[in-house]
Amino acid sequence: MNRRNFLASAAALAGSSIFTPRGFGLPQMGQEADRPWAQIPAVALPPADIGAAQYPKDFWWGTATAAYQVEGAWNVDGKGESIWDRFSHTRGKVKGAATGDVACDQYHLYKEDIALMKRLNQKSYRFSVSWPRIQATGVGPANQKGLDYYSRLTDALLAAGIRPMCTLYHWDLPQTLEDQGGWPNRDTAAKFADYAGIVTKVLGDRIETWAILNEPWVFTYLGYASGVHAPGKTGGIPTFLKAAHTVNLGQGDAFRAMKAVAPKAKIGSAYSMSPGEPATDSEADKAATARFHAVNNVWFLNTALKGRYPEVFAGSKFEQMIGIQPGDDKRMTAPLDWVGINYYRRSIISAPPAGSKAPFDQHDGFDGPLTEFAWEVWPKGLYDIVTTISNEYDKPIIEITENGCSYGDTPYGPDGGHVPDTRRTEFYRGHLAELARAMRDGANVRGYHAWSLLDNFEWAEGYSQRFGLTYVDYRDQKRTPKDSALWYAKVATSGRLDV
Ligand code: FCB
């Protein structure tokens, strides 16, 4: 099982029978000439929709990465072990026994990567800080060398005219804290807030825009319920709910700790979101879709903005499992300055079959073409989720913190300097057209970050999935911007998609 069907597995763990593993997408070898499918556009939108898009001049065009996926340098300068170090060093957990020990070596090559961003006319770079670089065991005084690295990175970005957007937790919990119970242990919330305060105090004079968390649903569910991701715990729904509650408390605690040391900081979080579409018009499927939306999309946003879990579960056995204590509502509340949306694909939802304990059945859509991760390409889903969140939460400031696709296109031609990844360009063009439409319809979207600047370590899939705008040759760390990157550079300059 992998991330393609983690949502299906959620329902499976809850007792439903819908778990349907599927085959992989397309093979990833050979050159374009051997691979006629590589020329097939990812999706075709009417030219009028493409031409109508005109992004504002001050739009934050960016790319995103995460510490464990790109930094490497896993044990240098006082860094402690993270749960992803432990997980990837454990045989059988990651495809091809891959690890993030070296990854893209951005820890040493950050200047080269910033030069690349500049060449691509980038205005924003979303990166994450590795908690065990700052506190090796998750508590105690800061490791100066770790802070210095992020300080250098920040300064170099600012010198290049690029906004640093910093995520504080993109899944690499210090292993020592995991040994003490990890996220299901409530004490982790306060420790996380201490760490968030330390980083914000040092970098808050130069970094304005912060994301507290990346995809809390994914790291709590895959880490503690299904075990597909670090730390590999398979406690099912009850452990997920406990972990998720600590994360919600930690999100609120961190928000306050950060504002205390940097009152002008603009603080949000980046949530994985997938618009749910009822499989049929039946009332049962529509009700299941509302439950899916509550758990999958707003479980960590509603708590922050409204101080309570989504109402659809009020009074249910799920609510009882969370373990809410008096005062938790206030602790969870965090009036976020902006909302980050990571969008990859939509979901088709139906009511669980009779006798199932699951709140819903979830499937991927199958109408669009598939990426090599076998994720359906569905640009309209971005319009749907952005407008939904915009309407439900009173038009918050939104940034797209991730959106992207995996295709295995390789350098081509005699000098190997060209990566013709037509499908990725069309993927981005389609999604950006839908995002522009959401903005025309009133959504307050300020930025967009392509996942990713570089091919990198794709968690349990190791290096088998290439999401980068830039091709990375892991043998010598050579970076080659793909054709999609050159196209994205023109979009970032013109604000237009017909370029
Ligand atoms: C998201 C993660 C990111 C990356 C992309 C492909 O869920 O936040 O780190 O792995 O998927």
Tell me the DSSP string of 257-273: HHHHH-TT-EEEEEEEE
* Rounded-to-integer distance, Cα 132 and Cα 152, Å: 18
Handedness of CA 167, 170, 172, 173 (dihedral sign): positive
Nearest CA to ligand 1 atom 9: 66
Check whether 34 has a pLDDT greater than 50.
Answer: no
pLDDT in tens, 441-479: 999 999 999 999 999 999 999 999 999 999 999 999 999
Handedness of CA 190, 195, 198, 201 (dihedral sign): negative
Q: What residues are in contact with ligand 1 under a 6 Å CB criterion?
A: 66, 69, 214-215, 218, 272, 342, 402, 451, 458-459, 467
Of 35-39, 94-98, 263-267, minimum mean pLDDT range: 35-39
pLDDT in tens, 159-193: 999 999 999 999 999 999 999 999 999 999 999 99
Interstrand relation of 163-169 and 124-128 (parallel, antiparallel or unpaired): parallel
pLDDT in tens, 327-349: 999 999 999 999 999 999 999 99
Which residue among 4, 70, 459, 466 is best mutated to probe the pocket of ligand 1, counting the most ligand atoms within 8 A of its Cβ? 459
In this structure, what is the dihedral angle of CA atoms 286, 292, 297, 300, given to the nearest 10 degrees?
Answer: 130
Mean pLDDT (whole number) for 10-17: 40
The band of 414, judged by pLDDT with boundaries at 50, 70 and 90, is: confident
Ligand 1 centroid from CA 152, angstroms:
25
Q: Under DSSP, is residue 382 helix (H, G, I), strand (E, B) or coil?
A: helix
Question: Which atom in ligand 1 lies closest to the alpha carbon of residue 3?
Answer: 7
Check whether 201 has a pLDDT greater than 90.
Answer: yes
Check whether 7 has a pLDDT greater than 90.
Answer: no
The band of 413, judged by pLDDT with boundaries at 50, 70 and 90, is: confident
Nearest CA to ligand 1 atom 2: 215
pLDDT in tens, 276-313: 999 999 999 999 999 999 999 999 999 999 999 999 88
To the nearest whole number, what is the mean pLDDT of the chain? 92
What amino acid positions are annotated as catalytic residues? 215, 402
Check whether 21 has a pLDDT greater than 70.
Answer: no
CB distance 222 to 236 below 8 Å:
no
Mean pLDDT (whole number) for 249-269: 98
pLDDT of residue 1: 38
Ligand 1 centroid from CA 246, angstroms:
22
Nearest CA to ligand 1 atom 4: 458
Question: Which atom in ligand 1 lies closest to the alpha carbon of residue 214?
Answer: 8
**Tokens for 131?**
């908690």
The band of 481, judged by pLDDT with boundaries at 50, 70 and 90, is: very high
Contacts of residue 315, defined as CB under 8 A and 6 or more positions apart, other chains included, come to: none
pLDDT of residue 438: 97
* Rounded-to-integer distance, Cα 465 and Cα 472, Å: 12
pLDDT of residue 43: 64
Check whether 38 has a pLDDT greater than 60.
Answer: no
Check whether 30 has a pLDDT greater than 90.
Answer: no
Handedness of CA 311, 312, 317, 323 (dihedral sign): negative
pLDDT of residue 5: 44
pLDDT of residue 40: 53
Of 38-42, 91-95, 267-271, 316-320, minimum mean pLDDT range: 38-42
Peptide bond preceding 352: is omega within 30 degrees of 0, i.e. cis? Answer: no
Check whether 101 has a pLDDT greater than 80.
Answer: yes
Ligand 1 centroid from CA 68, angstroms:
11
**Nearest alpha carbon to residue 99 among 108, 109, 91, 107:** 91
* Rounded-to-integer distance, Cα 314 and Cα 149, Å: 45
**Nearest alpha carbon to residue 28 among 409, 417, 323, 433:** 409
Ligand 1 centroid from CA 214, angstroms:
9
pLDDT of residue 314: 85
Of 84-88, 261-265, 356-360, minimum mean pLDDT range: 356-360
pLDDT of residue 487: 98
Q: What percent of the chain has a predicted confidence (pLDDT) above 70?
A: 91
Check whether 32 has a pLDDT greater than 60.
Answer: no
Question: What's the whole-model pTM score?
Answer: 0.93
pLDDT of residue 41: 54
Which residue among 402, 406, 465 is best mutated to probe the pocket of ligand 1, counting the most ligand atoms within 8 A of its Cβ? 402
* CB under 8 A, 24+ apart: contacts of 490-493: 490/121, 491/55, 491/61, 491/428, 491/432, 492/61, 492/120, 492/121, 492/122, 492/123, 493/121
Ligand 1 centroid from CA 241, angstroms:
21
Question: Which atom in ligand 1 lies closest to the alpha carbon of residue 69?
Answer: 9
**Nearest alpha carbon to residue 298 among 168, 391, 435:** 391
